[in-house]
C-alpha cells in the first residue's frame, strides 16, 4: 500500500548500511530517529468537512488525509509530525468528463476551491489545500485511466489523464510501443500530472520532454470544455496546448491526453564513464550533446555526488577495487561519473555509443562498461526510497533543480551548494550537498542538487531549517540566471520566485489567461502565481 507519510509502497525498503551511515555521520554528524505521528492520530485532528453532500465526494478523514499533501519536504514534515493544518474537505473521484463537469458546476455553485490531484508526487507544494473560509475539494483523476485510442499510422495514443506511468507503459507495451517518459516519480505519477507541470523524464534526450509528447486532448474548465485537436504542426496562431502545459491546475482539469508514442526500443544499455575532474567532464558532455548523437540519456555527477553514490552503493570491496583502478587511470578524488544511455535499433545504438565514447576520450573519459549502468537502471525508481531510509535515521533529504545555458552551469552548481551550506550554518548545522546535470541540451543543462542534513526532531525547527535552505537556494538560482524549475514545476514553494523570470507583464498575462478559463478563480488558487495579488 502507498505510504501515507513517505515515498512509495510500504513493502519496499531501501536500507542504509553501517558504512553509509558512517559516511553521513562523518560529514554532517549523527542523526537521531524521530517518532512519527500515527495515521489515526492525524486523521482525528482533521477539522470536520465543510462540504455540502455530493454523490462523487468522499469526506472520510482517511481519504482526506491521503490527499492532503504531496512529497515536498515541508509536506513530509507536516505528515511525519502530524501537523496537518490544512486538508481538503473532501475528495472526488470522477470517472468521466461528465463527472468532472458536474464537480465544476458544484464548485461554482457552492464557491468551493478545487485542487486537482493526480498521483500526489508533487515536490513543490501543488496539492496543499488553501487556507481561509472557502471549502476545498480535492479532485482525484485516477479513475480517468483508460487507453482510449491508438493510431499506429500516426504513432499517437489517447489516455484518460489520470493513468499512472506503469499502467500507461503496460498498455502501450502490449501493442509494441512506449511513451518513453520516465521521471523518477514514474511509478506513482500520472500522465495528466506530467503535462500540467511540464515534467521531464530520465530519457528525454531520446523521447523529449512531456511538452514534445503532448499532442492534444481535452480539458474541462469552469468556462467550458477546451478541445485540443491533433495536428503534426500548425501555424494557426497561438498553440493552445501551451496554455495547458505548466498550468498546474489553474485553468481546469485535463481529462484526456493524446501523446506521441514510439516503437519499443529493440536495444537499450547504460554505460558509465569517469573523468578526472569537473572541467574535463563538462567539456566532454557538451561535445557529446552538441555532436547530435542518438543517445537516450546523459547524466553527469559532480565529484561529491560521485563520492556519495559510491559510498552508498554497498559492495565496499568491489567499489574499492574500482576506485583503485580509476585512480591509476587519472580519476582520483575529484572524479566525476557520467552515465550514458542508448536506446533504439541495435546497430544505431551501438554506433551512437561508440561515437560518444570516442568524443569523451580526449577529455580523459574512462569507460568502465555496463555494470554500473545496469545497476543504475535497476534502481532508477528506487533511489528515491532513500528519503524514507534517511528519515528513519534522523536525516532530511531535499532536492532543488534548475536549468541554465552552458556558460552559467558551473557557477550555478557552486552557488546553489554554497547557499545551502550558508543557510544551514545559520542553524548551526552542516549540510551534505551534491549535484548532477540530469538533462543535457545543446544550449545548456539542468542542474539538480541534493541536500542531506539533520532533523531537529521538532516541527517548527525543522520547518525553519527547510525555509532557510529553500529560500537561500532559490535566491541563488534567481541571482545566477536560472529558471526556478526545470522539471518539478512551481506549485506553492517556487511561486514567490516566478516573477524574476516572467516579469510583471508575463505574470499578468498568465493571470489574464487563467481568469478567462476560470473567472470565479476556483481552480487551485494560490498555486503557480503568488496568492497576495490574486484579487481581481
- The full DSSP string for 190-228 is BHHHHHHTT---TTHHHH--HHHHEEEEEEEETTEEEEE
Residue whose C-alpha is closest to residue 275's, from 361, 190, 217: 361
The answer to the question of whether 199 is labelled as a binding residue is yes
Catalytic residue of the set 177, 395, 448, 497: 448
| 122 vs 141, beta carbon nearer a second copy | 122
Could you tell me which residues are beta bridge partners of residue 147?
159
The residues, ordered by sequence, that sit 6+ positions from 229 with a Cβ below 8 Å of its Cβ are 216
Q: Which conformational region is residue 315 in: left (phi greater than 0), alpha (psi within -120 to 50 degrees), or beta?
A: left
| 236 vs 535, beta carbon nearer a second copy | 236
The answer to the question of whether 117 is labelled as a binding residue is yes
The answer to the question of whether 197 is labelled as a binding residue is yes
The residues, ordered by sequence, that sit 6+ positions from 334 with a Cβ below 8 Å of its Cβ are 276, 277, 278, 303
The answer to the question of whether 435 is labelled as a binding residue is no
| 10 vs 405, beta carbon nearer a second copy | 405
| 11 vs 153, beta carbon nearer a second copy | 153
The answer to the question of whether 217 is labelled as a binding residue is no
The answer to the question of whether 121 is labelled as a binding residue is yes
The answer to the question of whether 120 is labelled as a binding residue is yes
Residue 480 Cβ vs a second copy, minimum distance, rounded to whole Å:
12
Residue 114 Cβ vs a second copy, minimum distance, rounded to whole Å:
18
Cα dihedral value 186, 383, 304, 484, nearest 10 = 30
For 464-502, give one letter per residue: b (16+ CB within 10 A) or e. Answer: ebbebbbebbbbbbbebebbbbbbbbbbbbbbbbbbbee
Residue 221 Cβ vs a second copy, minimum distance, rounded to whole Å:
7
**In which residue are the cell numbers 548532477 written?**
436
The answer to the question of whether 166 is labelled as a binding residue is no
Residue whose C-alpha is closest to residue 435's, from 278, 252, 242: 278
| 335 vs 408, beta carbon nearer a second copy | 408
HSE of 54, CA atoms in CB hemisphere, 13 A:
25
Residue 229 Cβ vs a second copy, minimum distance, rounded to whole Å:
6
3-state helix, strand, coil in the chain (%, to 5): 40, 20, 40
The answer to the question of whether 474 is labelled as a binding residue is no
Strands 136-140 and 113-117: parallel
CA distances from 55 to 61, 103, 384, 512 (A): 17, 10, 37, 33
The residues, ordered by sequence, that sit 6+ positions from 247 with a Cβ below 8 Å of its Cβ are 196, 514, 528
| 18 vs 512, beta carbon nearer a second copy | 512
CB 253 within 8 A of CB 220: yes
**In which residue are the cell numbers 462523487 written?**
56
The answer to the question of whether 116 is labelled as a binding residue is yes
Query: Is residue 448 annotated as part of the catalytic site, yes or no?
Result: yes
CA distances from 480 to 307, 408, 444, 529 (A): 26, 7, 14, 22
Integer Rg of the chain from CA: 23
| 23 vs 188, beta carbon nearer a second copy | 188
Cβ-based burial of 238 (10 A; exposed 0-12, middle 13-18, buried ≥19): exposed
| 168 vs 226, beta carbon nearer a second copy | 226
Binding site per annotation, positions for substrate:
387
Catalytic center residues: 448
Binding site per annotation, positions for FAD:
116-122, 197-200
Binding site per annotation, positions:
116-122, 197-200, 387
Amino acid at each position: 500500500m502507498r505510504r501515507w507519510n513517505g515515498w512509495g509502497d510500504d513493502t519496499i525498503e531501501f536500507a542504509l548500511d553501517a558504512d553509509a551511515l558512517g559516511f553521513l555521520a562523518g560529514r554532517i554528524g549523527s542523526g537521531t530517529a524521530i517518532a512519527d505521528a500515527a495515521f489515526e492520530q492525524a486523521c482525528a485532528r482533521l477539522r470536520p468537512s465543510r462540504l455540502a453532500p455530493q454523490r462523487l465526494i468522499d469526506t472520510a478523514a482517511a481519504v482526506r488525509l491521503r490527499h492532503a499533501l504531496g512529497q515536498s519536504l515541508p509536506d513530509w514534515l507536516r505528515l511525519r509530525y502530524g501537523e496537518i493544518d490544512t486538508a481538503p474537505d473532501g475528495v472526488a473521484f470522477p470517472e468521466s468528463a461528465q463527472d468532472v463537469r458536474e464537480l465544476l458546476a458544484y464548485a461554482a455553485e457552492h464557491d468551493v476551491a478545487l485542487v486537482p490531484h493526480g498521483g500526489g508526487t508533487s515536490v513543490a507544494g501543488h496539492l496543499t489545500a488553501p487556507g481561509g473560509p472557502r471549502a476545498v475539494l480535492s479532485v482525484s483523476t485516477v479513475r480517468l485511466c483508460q487507453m482510449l485510442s491508438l493510431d499506429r499510422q500516426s504513432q499517437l495514443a489517447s489516455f484518460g489523464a489520470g493513468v499512472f506511468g506503469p499502467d500507461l507503459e503496460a498498455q502501450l507495451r502490449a501493442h509494441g510501443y512506449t511513451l518513453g517518459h520516465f521521471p523518477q516519480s514514474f511509478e506513482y505519477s500520472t500522465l495528466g500530472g506530467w503535462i500540467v507541470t511540464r515534467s521531464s523524464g530520465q530519457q528525454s534526450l531520446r523521447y523529449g520532454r512531456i511538452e514534445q509528447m503532448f499532442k492534444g486532448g481535452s480539458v474541462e474548465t469552469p468556462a467550458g470544455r477546451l478541445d485540443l485537436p491533433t495536428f503534426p504542426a500548425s501555424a494557426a496562431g497561438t498553440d493552445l496546448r501551451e496554455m495547458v502545459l505548466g498550468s498546474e491546475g489553474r485553468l481546469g482539469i485535463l481529462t484526456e491526453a493524446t501523446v506521441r508514442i514510439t516503437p519499443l526500443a529493440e536495444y537499450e544499455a547504460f554505460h558509465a564513464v569517469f573523468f578526472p575532474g569537473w572541467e574535463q567532464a563538462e567539456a566532454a558532455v557538451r561535445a557529446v550533446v552538441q555532436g547530435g548523437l542518438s543517445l537516450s540519456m546523459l547524466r553527469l555527477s559532480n565529484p561529491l555526488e560521485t563520492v556519495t553514490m559510491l559510498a552508498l552503493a554497498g559492495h565496499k570491496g568491489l567499489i574499492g577495487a574500482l576506485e583503485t583502478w580509476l585512480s591509476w587511470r587519472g580519476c582520483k578524488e575529484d572524479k566525476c561519473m557520467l552515465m550514458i544511455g542508448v536506446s533504439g535499433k541495435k546497430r544505431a545504438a551501438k554506433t551512437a555509443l561508440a561515437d560518444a565514447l570516442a568524443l569523451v576520450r580526449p577529455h580523459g573519459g574512462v569507460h568502465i562498461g555496463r555494470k554500473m549502468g545496469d545497476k543504475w537502471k535497476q534502481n532508477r525508481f528506487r533511489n528515491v526510497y532513500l528519503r524514507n531510509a534517511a528519515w528513519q535515521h534522523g536525516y532530511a533529504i531535499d532536492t532543488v533543480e534548475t536549468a541554465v545555458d552552458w556558460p552559467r552551469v558551473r557557477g550555478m552548481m557552486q552557488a546553489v551548494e554554497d547557499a545551502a551550506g550558508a543557510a544551514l550554518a545559520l542553524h548551526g548545522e552542516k549540510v551534505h550537498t551534491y549535484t548532477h546535470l540530469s538533462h543535457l541540451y545543446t544550449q545548456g543543462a539542468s542542474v539538480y542538487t541534493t541536500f542531506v542534513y539533520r532533523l531537529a526532531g521538532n516541527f517548527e525547527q525543522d520547518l525553519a531549517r527547510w525555509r532557510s535552505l529553500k529560500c537561500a537556494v532559490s535566491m541563488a538560482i534567481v541571482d545566477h540566471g536560472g529558471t526556478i524549475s526545470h522539471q518539478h514545476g512551481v506549485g506553492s514553494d517556487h511561486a514567490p520566485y516566478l516573477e524574476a523570470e516572467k516579469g510583471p507583464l508575463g505574470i499578468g498575462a498568465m493571470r489574464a489567461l487563467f481568469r478567462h478559463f476560470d473567472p470565479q478563480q476556483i481552480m487551485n488558487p494560490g498555486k503557480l502565481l503568488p496568492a497576495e495579488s490574486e484579487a481581481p
